[in-house]
Structures are given as structure tokens and as C-alpha cells.
Amino acid sequence: MDPDILKKIIVTPMPYGKYKGTMICNLPVHYLEWMYAQGFPQGSLGMMLHTIHEIKINGLEYLLAPLKRK
């Protein structure tokens, strides 16, 4: 796993789809659940989506707050 993944989640916009341009950290849970059911894409984008999905469904969004403030 990439140790800088949380930083990337904060600054990377979704590159396609309904939420194109939305920062990955701001994607709604229902969209992440839908993507989870479809299967996350391969590579870095898939890793970021999987990570933010786990963060949100487990109530760990507070982990991102210090990074968002920077």
C-alpha cells in the first residue's frame, strides 16, 4: 500500500462518471457502495476508491480532517 494514499485521496478528483471532478474524499457513500458492487478499477484509482470506501463505512473520516486543513 502507498503510504501517501490519504494525501492523494484529498487532492485527486474523480476522473469520470457522475461525480467527475469531485475530490475522491468527498464522494458520497452510496456512490462508493455502487462502485464496490461493480468492482473498483485497477491501479491507483482503485486503491484510492477502496480506501475511501473503507474509511467512510467504518466512520473514520476524522482521519482525513488534519490533512484537509493543510
Q: Give the model confidence (pLDDT) of 15-44 as tens digits.
A: 999 999 999 999 999 999 999 999 999 999
Domain range for residue 24? 5-69
Contact between 31 and 1 under an 8 Å Cβ cutoff? The reply is no
pLDDT recorded at residue 2: 67
pLDDT recorded at residue 63: 86
Contact between 39 and 45 under an 8 Å Cβ cutoff? The reply is no
pLDDT recorded at residue 35: 95
Element (H, E) at 16: none
What is the number of domains present in the chain? 1
- CA-only gyration radius of the chain, Å: 11
